[in-house]
């Protein structure tokens, strides 16, 4: 059996539908896919049991290649807030320099 990295996020209990809900992300060699999962269960269910049910549902959907999965974008390097890239700054400076200034 192959081990697949999983990630559970936003796990909640929806009292209106009496179900546990979560977004389960499955990481494999093709990338990461995220599934919105829900299992019917009483609020007294142990969290570990609810998590197992949510993971099982996500893995089944992933194995079937469900089209309702959300493909997550690949990670891009973070840019510091408030800092323009050199290229963007160069373009902006040329545009401003080429136009007359308002009085």
pLDDT on residue 5: 86
Q: What's the predicted TM-score (pTM) here?
A: 0.62
Q: Give me the pLDDT at residue 28, please.
A: 84
Instruction: Compute CA distances 95 → 87, 100, 101, 103, whole Å.
Output: 13, 10, 11, 18
Q: How big is the CA angle at 29 (ends 72 and 3), to the nearest 5 degrees?
A: 105
| 29 pLDDT above the threshold of 70 | yes
CA atoms of 53 and 61, how far apart (whole Å) = 13
pLDDT tens digit string along 44-102? 999 999 999 999 999 999 888 755 566 555 545 555 555 554 444 444 444 444 555 45
- Report whether 38 contacts 78 (CB < 8 A): no
| pLDDT for residue 71 | 58
Identify the pLDDT of residue 32: 87
């Amino acid at each position: 059996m192959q081990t697949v990295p999983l990630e559970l996020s936003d796990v909640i209990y929806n009292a209106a539908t009496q179900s546990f809900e979560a977004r389960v992300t499955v990481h494999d060699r093709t990338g990461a896919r995220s599934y919105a999962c829900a299992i019917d269960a009483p609020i007294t269910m142990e969290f570990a049991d609810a998590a197992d049910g949510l993971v099982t549902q996500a893995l089944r959907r992933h194995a079937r290649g469900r089209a309702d999965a959300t493909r997550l974008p690949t990670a891009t390097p973070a840019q510091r807030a408030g800092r323009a890239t050199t290229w963007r700054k160069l373009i902006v400076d040329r545009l401003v320099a080429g136009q007359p200034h308002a009085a």
